[in-house]
């Protein structure tokens, strides 16, 4: 598996990653605590129109210096991670982990961790103190981030919260 930086014209290939997932439970933040509740979804592909809607945000992110990595199996992109370059937070010392996906057939093999660590290394190089993660609330996604040492953020970013109020907003302290 090769992980390398993506060029601008490769960004559109992100949508080739097989996003499908059977979700059984999702997390809610109730009274400041995470609670896991049964809520099944059959995510077969990217939601209709998601790629078209999201592409301008990804290009904007790239153009202002965001970092994009892709994981390749041969010529196929099977995972990707995107780190924002715009500092956020009261102290302007956080960078958002904007996107992290591993294709269905390539999950639970260490690729998510490898991509996450690439983003952490880059954030450290940019002198960020924390990553900010607006995480899909599924059991698997939140479980993954908690396992890697992420915790509920103490400082919600209102702009990102308004975009994804159902997400679980996490932070990761960069050592």
Ligand X SMILES: CC(C)(COP(=O)(O)OP(=O)(O)OC[C@H]1O[C@@H](n2cnc3c(N)ncnc32)[C@H](O)[C@@H]1OP(=O)(O)O)[C@@H](O)C(=O)NCCC(=O)NCCS
Binding site for ligand X (CB under 6 A): 21, 100-102, 107-113, 135-136, 138, 140-141, 143-144, 147
Taking a C-beta distance cutoff of 8 angstroms, is the pair 71, 79 a contact?
A: yes
Choose between 10 and 140: whose C-beta lies nearer to ligand X. 140
Instruction: Output 9 or 145, the one with its CB closest to ligand X.
Output: 145
Residue 12 contacts residue 3 (beta carbons within 8 Å) = no
In the complex, least distance from residue 95 CB atom to ligand X, rounded to whole angstroms: 15
Long-range (24+ apart) CB contacts under 8 A made by 53-59 are 55/11, 55/12, 58/11, 58/14, 58/82, 58/98, 58/99, 59/8, 59/11
Nearer to ligand X by Cβ, of 35 and 127: the residue is 35
Q: Are 172 and 149 in contact (CB under 8 A)?
A: yes
Closest chain position to ligand X (CB): 112
CB of 74 to ligand X, least distance (A): 18
- In whole angstroms, the minimum distance from the beta carbon of 168 to ligand X comes to 9
Question: Min. distance of Cβ 75 from ligand X in angstroms?
Answer: 20
Cα 81 to Cα 105: distance, rounded to the nearest angstrom: 17
Q: Tell me whether residue 85 or residue 138 sits nearer to ligand X (CB atom).
A: 138
Q: How far is the CB of 124 from ligand X (least distance, A)?
A: 19
138 secondary structure, DSSP code: B
Pick 108 or 154: Cβ nearer ligand X: 108
Strand pairing class (94-102; 76-83): antiparallel
Output the CA torsion sign for 65, 128, 86, 98: positive
């Amino acid at each position: 598996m090769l992980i390398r930086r993506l060029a601008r014209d490769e960004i559109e290939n992100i949508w080739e990653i097989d996003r499908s997932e059977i979700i059984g439970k999702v997390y809610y933040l109730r009274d400041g605590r995470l609670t896991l509740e049964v809520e099944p979804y059959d995510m077969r592909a990217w939601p209709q129109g998601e790629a078209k809607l999201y592409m301008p945000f990804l290009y904007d992110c790239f153009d202002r210096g965001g970092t994009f990595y892709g994981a390749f199996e041969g010529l196929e992109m099977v995972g990707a991670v995107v780190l924002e370059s715009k500092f956020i937070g009261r102290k302007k010392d956080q960078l958002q982990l904007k996107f992290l996906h591993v294709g269905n057939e390539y999950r639970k093999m260490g690729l998510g961790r490898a991509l996450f660590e690439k983003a952490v290394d880059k954030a450290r190089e940019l002198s960020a103190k924390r990553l900010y993660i607006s995480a899909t609330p599924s059991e698997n996604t939140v479980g993954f981030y908690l396992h890697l040492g992420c915790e509920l953020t103490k400082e919600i970013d209102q702009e990102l919260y308004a975009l994804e109020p159902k997400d679980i907003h996490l932070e990761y302290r960069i050592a």
